[in-house]
Each structure stands twice: as structure tokens, then as C-alpha cells.
Amino acid sequence: MPKKSALVVWGGWEGHTPERSSAIVRGLLERNGFEVRVENSTTAYADPAIAQLHLIVPMVTMSTIEKHEVENICAAVKGGVGLGGFHGTMCDAFRNETEYQFMTGGQWVSHPGNIIDYRVNIVRNDDPIMQGVGDFDYHSEQYYMHVDPANEVLATTTFSGEHCDWAKGVVMPVVWKKIYGKGRVFYSALGHTADEFAIKELATIVERGLVWAAR
């Protein structure tokens, strides 16, 4: 059986350790039987051949993208290519590109208190991505996001109000999946740097989510 094909594209803000994280993601995918290509420029999205891939993992924070590049990746996912990613390397990219945000299902807007302690609550224990993963404590940025109400939410976090009093009690999606055209989309707000992949829950969720997203 031919291997599944994946494209990982890293870049943008170095604070999210995109190159190190891309190497980790490559390893996760290769042990699941993927043939992985890694690029560090959004020009990779302009290639018409990406429409034949099984999975695209965007890992570019902020930055910009050419219109024909974003149109091509959106068309590929609409056509059935899977899309999966995490933290700001997927959902804080290309801030002017609303179609990209529509595709991913969310956009970062704030992380009150920066690096803090918070709780991740699993809301879909029956989903294969979350199976066997219980609620867990996390030490990182707690992402406040604008999210697509069509997302199928798998895990949430609740804002305490300590760092942003008007957000007290807000329940925010942390992990979700959705459909965009014919493509499956997976996202985890966890994963600020490559070091966080040492946390078993995060590594498990991302690995399973990427495999699920691939067509």
C-alpha cells in the first residue's frame, strides 16, 4: 500500500519554535506511515500538486502569504486534503486572510496572563482522538480565540478571570475538528513551543488529530 503523503510548512515568528516543532511533527507522522515533505516557505502552497496530498500541516505564525498561495491551499482542503495543526502556528497565521481563518475554524486574539497554569477539560471522551485522555493541568499560554460555531469541540478551558476579569467563567474551545468542503480539519490550541510535546496528553492529541485529519 502506498504511503500517505504530508506537507509540513514552517516559518514566521521564531518564538513558537517552528523548525524544532516541524521536526517533531515529521517524526509523529513518519511513525504513522506518512511520507513527509518539510518546507520553510509558503511558496510550497502555490504548487498545484498539493491537491493530491493526504495532509497539510501549516506551521507559520503571523507573517503574510500571497493571495494565490492561500487560494490554492484553501482549494486543496476543500477538495479533500486534510489540514491539521496547533497553537499559533496554525491559528495565528496570515491575519488578513479571512478565508484561511474560515478554513481553520479559529483565530487567536489574546492570552491573558501569558504563561499561566490552567485546566484542560475533555468534553468528548468518546471521540477516538481523545480516548483515554482525562482532564489535565497545563502550564502555557491560555488561548482566547474567535471560533467557528460549527467546530466539533473536543476539549475546553475555563478562564478564571484572574488575568482578565471580564472573561471570568468563559469556556473556550482548546481542541476541535471540523469539515471544510470535503477536507477534515483538526486543531489544538496547546503547543506553544516544541518543549510542550514532552507532555504526553499534548503529543497524543496532536498525533491522533493529524492522523484523523488525513484523507
- Residue 25: name the closest of 90, 72, 79 by CA: 90
149: amino acid identity, one letter: P
Average pLDDT value over all residues in the chain: 98
Quote the cell numbers at residue 38.
518539510
CATH number (domain holding residue 28): 3.40.50.880
Gap between the Cα atoms of 178 and 181, Å rounded: 10
For residues 105 and 208, the answer to whether their CB atoms sit within 8 Å is no
Q: Give the pLDDT confidence score for residue 1 in this predicted structure.
A: 57
pTM of the predicted model as reported, rounded to 2 decimal places: 0.97
- Residue 20 pLDDT more than 90? yes
Confidence category of residue 38, pLDDT binned at 50, 70, 90: very high
Mean pLDDT of 127-152: 98
| 56 contacts: CB under 8 Å, gap ≥ 6 | 6, 7, 9, 50, 73, 76, 77, 81, 82, 83, 84
Structural domain of residue 205, as residue ranges? 4-213
pLDDT digits (tens, 9 = 90+) for 43-53: 999 999 999 99
Gap between the Cα atoms of 53 and 38, Å rounded: 13
Mean pLDDT of 35-63: 98
Gap between the Cα atoms of 189 and 174, Å rounded: 5
Domains in the chain, number: 1
Q: Measuring CA to CA, how many Å separate 185 from each of 9, 150, 169, 199?
A: 16, 12, 27, 23
pLDDT digits (tens, 9 = 90+) for 69-125: 999 999 999 999 999 999 999 999 999 999 999 999 999 999 999 999 999 999 999
